[in-house]
A and B are shown apart, each in its own frame.
Chain A
Amino acid sequence: MLGLDRMAALFDRLVLLAMFLILAAILTAALVMQYAFGELPCPLCLPQRYAMFGCCFGLAQQLRFDGSERGSGLSLLFAVVLLVIAVRQTLLDLFPRPGHEYVGSAILGIHMPVWGALIAVALILGFALRFAIFGGMRAVSVPAVASLRRLTQALFIYVALLCAVNFISAIVQCGLGECHTMGYSLLK
């Protein structure tokens, strides 16, 4: 029985780590698109990135498991925010008209706000399945968990660095005001 518990605990952490890794990859891709391909984030794209950072923070908290599900709760909160913003932007650009075309280039035929909505739904679904299958985290000692912790910490530092780059980028793009620019306002 303990073996089954250990396996479930390990698999649960692997699922969370996979979600964390995918979000980190998406945030990296967003920065690459911005700086390598010159795709400036729109006013609603930056809050979507911010919501993904919030999800990452919650996932890191949960992976460090302190006996509570607070991290999952935080991630779910930001996933809902991501869903609301992404759906809002998708509906806004659903009817193409001057000034309201989908921003950026399509990836696999799908534009960024639609991806945002899909990512949010996937996150919420992932947490729902996790709770349904594993029923939350177990405080079972598994040798592999120690190495997962180190990986989590490394990923957390990486995401924090991405957040720092986004912070500086937001300063250059938006200045100290609202972010309605078609270029980097501090570089004009």
Chain B
Amino acid sequence: MVAVYGVLLGAFVLDFAGHRRLAICCLLLSFALGLWLFLWEIYSPDYGFRMPWLQVESVAVSLAAVS
């Protein structure tokens, strides 16, 4: 997260300093980092979030198995 914000801040600073192309490169790099972080949030086996309906479905399946 720090890297994403750091590169984004770099883009703002570079743009302010007049290096527009470099700033846009920085912005696109932060875009890629942000996307990677988001995908990691979703798919991490430790921290990845499951979708609620999948959990509800598995609860329903286990309840059916019990009864």
* CB < 8 Å neighbour of B24 from A74, A92, A163, A166: A74
Once the chains are docked, how many angstroms separate the CA of A163 from the CA of B30? 13
Interface string of A153-188 (1 = CB under 8 A from B): 000110110011011001100111011100000000
CB-nearest residue of chain B to A46 = B1
Q: Which residues of B contact A166 (CB under 8 A)?
A: 5
Once the chains are docked, how many angstroms separate the CA of A54 from the CA of B33? 13
CB within 8 Å: A-B pair count = 94
* CB < 8 Å neighbour of B42 from A54, A88, A163, A179: A88
Once the chains are docked, how many angstroms separate the CA of A170 from the CA of B2? 6
Q: How far does the Cβ of B16 sit from chain A's closest Cβ, in whole Å?
A: 6
- Structural contact, A171 and B13, CB atoms closer than 8 A: no
Q: Interface residues of A, CB < 8 Å — how many?
A: 42
- Structural contact, B8 and A77, CB atoms closer than 8 A: no
* CB < 8 Å neighbour of B51 from A43, A47, A91, A167: A91
Once the chains are docked, how many angstroms separate the CA of A97 from the CA of B27? 37
Q: What is the interface of chain B mostly: helix, strand, loop, or mixed?
A: helix
- Structural contact, B12 and A50, CB atoms closer than 8 A: no
Q: Interface residues of B, CB < 8 Å — how many?
A: 31
* Residue A27, interface by CB 8 Å: no
> Which residues of B come within 8 Å of A, CB atoms?
1-2, 4-6, 8-9, 11-13, 15-16, 20, 24, 27, 30-31, 34-35, 37-38, 40-42, 47, 49, 51-53, 55-56
Q: Which residues of B contact A60 (CB under 8 A)?
A: 15
Q: Which residues of B contact A156 (CB under 8 A)?
A: 12, 15-16
- Structural contact, B8 and A54, CB atoms closer than 8 A: yes
Q: How far does the Cβ of A96 sit from chain B's closest Cβ, in whole Å?
A: 9
A-B contact pairs, 25 of them (CB 8 A): A47-B1, A50-B5, A50-B8, A53-B8, A54-B30, A54-B31, A57-B15, A70-B24, A74-B27, A81-B31, A81-B38, A88-B38, A91-B52, A95-B56, A160-B12, A160-B16, A163-B5, A163-B8, A167-B5, A167-B6, A167-B9, A170-B1, A170-B2, A178-B37, A180-B47
* Residue A102, interface by CB 8 Å: no
Once the chains are docked, how many angstroms separate the CA of A162 from the CA of B12? 11
* CB < 8 Å neighbour of A50 from B4, B16, B52: B4
Once the chains are docked, how many angstroms separate the CA of A163 from the CA of B35? 18
